[in-house]
């Protein structure tokens, strides 16, 4: 099973966007050296504690600073954008870094409904419109898009394609299968309860130029530490942020471990966290590997995309370092080369 990273460029309390972006680039270089498969950047808007609202820009910086690892968006929220503009951005990135660019496609807006309307006033964000948007995008990548006046080209026109993934809990698995795209389950956003989407995708998959075979990944919060106690505290830091977002609409920066240690959740918050607990995989390296392998067996995964957020950058780095060691990623890369 391949192991990858999704990074949200979180801004800590008292920190800056510049600092968070520099840490993202540093983490990407580390992931490149340690043997992770890919490094994804997310799209979020009107969230002051997240430093990357335009992953297509940050992808170029990360790809420039790395050598081997695939770099991409996990994902681009398609309702926010023109399909032509997305095709142009990712063709340009693929032209600059051929064979290393990923384009994950999401149906959500990556923000609140009010900001979503400002981002794209013409989009009604209906679920049934997403397959048509994906189809439109494929036409641009195939140089087959037409207007009333003739062909419309997504420039630059190049010989290779970015590797595309559909981010879905299963509802749009058939879209990924139809176009021969990868299927990525964003479990860290919304719990994926059923394996039906994966089964449908595997069954209906049509090979494509970038995916001769079906590929399934899952995004999870993975918090790895040398002790269970430390991993629980690091997980609590993340939970504080998401409780604030989900229950109170507060978009607050990442708290420190000391702040988390003294923080107490109320009864309503504890009930919310109980419902969300499957999104988190935490513990020591052996325990992490055991849990991830359970997910892999249940959902027939080819890959896990790990997300870890922490106030202290060293805690984040150590978590990924322990994860890499648990799966012996560095030796895998050496053997591959």
More confident: 309 or 111: 309
In a domain, 232, yes or no: no
Residue 73 has pLDDT above 70, yes or no: yes
The residue among 39, 45, 3 whose CA lies nearest residue 23 is: 39
Residue 170 has pLDDT above 90, yes or no: no
Q: What is the mean pLDDT of residues 102-126?
A: 85
Q: At what angle do helices 17-34 and 329-336 cross, to 10 degrees?
A: 60
pLDDT of residue 12: 86
Q: CATH number for the domain including 295? A: 3.20.20.30
In a domain, 31, yes or no: yes
In a domain, 219, yes or no: yes
Residue 81 has pLDDT above 80, yes or no: yes
Asked if 109 and 77 count as a contact pair (C-beta separation under 8 A), the reply is: yes
In a domain, 304, yes or no: yes
pLDDT of residue 200: 97
pLDDT of residue 14: 84
Asked if 229 and 209 count as a contact pair (C-beta separation under 8 A), the reply is: no
In a domain, 245, yes or no: no
Element (H, E) at 178: helix 173-179
How does DSSP classify residue 78?
G
pLDDT-derived band at 333 (thresholds 50, 70, 90) equals low
Residue 33 has pLDDT above 80, yes or no: yes
Residue 74 has pLDDT above 50, yes or no: yes
pLDDT of residue 289: 97
Gap between the Cα atoms of 269 and 249, Å rounded: 13
Residue 247 has pLDDT above 90, yes or no: yes
Q: Which residues contact 246 (CB under 8 A, 6 or more apart)?
A: 272
Gap between the Cα atoms of 266 and 245, Å rounded: 15
pLDDT per position as a tens digit, 142-153: 999 999 999 999
Domain that holds residue 8: 2-227+280-336
pLDDT of residue 127: 67
Residue 19 has pLDDT above 90, yes or no: yes
Residue 334 has pLDDT above 50, yes or no: no
Domains in the chain, number? 1
In a domain, 78, yes or no: yes
pLDDT of residue 29: 98
The residue among 9, 13, 43, 2 whose CA lies nearest residue 27 is: 9
> How much is the mean pLDDT over the chain?
93
Asked if 70 and 101 count as a contact pair (C-beta separation under 8 A), the reply is: yes
More confident: 183 or 332: 183
pLDDT per position as a tens digit, 204-240: 999 999 999 999 999 999 999 999 999 999 999 999 9
Q: What is the mean pLDDT of residues 279-287?
A: 96
In a domain, 241, yes or no: no
pLDDT of residue 337: 41
In a domain, 244, yes or no: no
Least confident residue range of 94-103, 114-123, 137-146, 239-248: 114-123
More confident: 115 or 38: 38
């Amino acid at each position: 099973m391949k192991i990858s990273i999704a990074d949200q460029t979180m801004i800590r309390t008292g920190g800056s966007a510049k600092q968070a972006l520099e840490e993202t680039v540093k983490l990407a270089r580390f992931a490149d050296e340690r043997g992770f498969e890919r490094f994804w950047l997310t799209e979020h808007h009107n969230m002051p504690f997240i430093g990357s609202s335009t992953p297509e820009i940050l992808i170029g910086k990360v790809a420039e600073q790395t050598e081997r690892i695939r770099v991409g968006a996990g994902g681009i929220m398609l309702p926010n954008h023109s399909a032509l503009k997305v095709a142009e951005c990712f063709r340009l990135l693929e032209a600059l870094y051929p064979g290393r660019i990923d384009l994950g496609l999401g149906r959500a807006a990556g923000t609140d409904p009010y900001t979503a309307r400002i981002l794209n006033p013409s989009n009604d964000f209906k679920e049934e419109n997403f397959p048509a948007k994906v189809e439109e995008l494929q036409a641009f990548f195939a140089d087959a898009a037409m207007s009333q006046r003739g062909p419309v080209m997504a420039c630059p026109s190049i010989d290779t394609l970015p590797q595309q993934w559909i981010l879905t809990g299963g509802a749009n698995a058939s879209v990924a299968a139809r176009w021969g795209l990868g299927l990525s389950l964003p479990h860290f956003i919304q719990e994926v309860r059923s394996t039906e989407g994966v089964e449908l995708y595997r069954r209906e998959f049509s090979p494509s130029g970038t995916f001769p075979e079906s590929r399934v990944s899952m995004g999870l919060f993975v918090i790895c530490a040398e002790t269970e106690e430390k991993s629980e505290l690091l997980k609590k830091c993340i939970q504080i942020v998401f409780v604030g977002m989900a229950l109170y609409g507060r978009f607050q920066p990442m708290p420190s471990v000391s702040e988390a240690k003294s923080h107490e959740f109320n009864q309503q918050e504890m009930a919310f966290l109980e419902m969300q607990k499957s999104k988190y995989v935490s513990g020591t390296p052996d325990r992490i590997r055991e849990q991830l392998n359970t997910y892999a067996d249940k959902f027939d995964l080819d890959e896990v995309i790990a997300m870890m957020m922490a106030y202290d950058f060293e805690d984040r780095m150590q978590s990924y370092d322990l994860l890499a060691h648990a799966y012996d990623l560095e030796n895998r890369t050496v053997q591959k080369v």
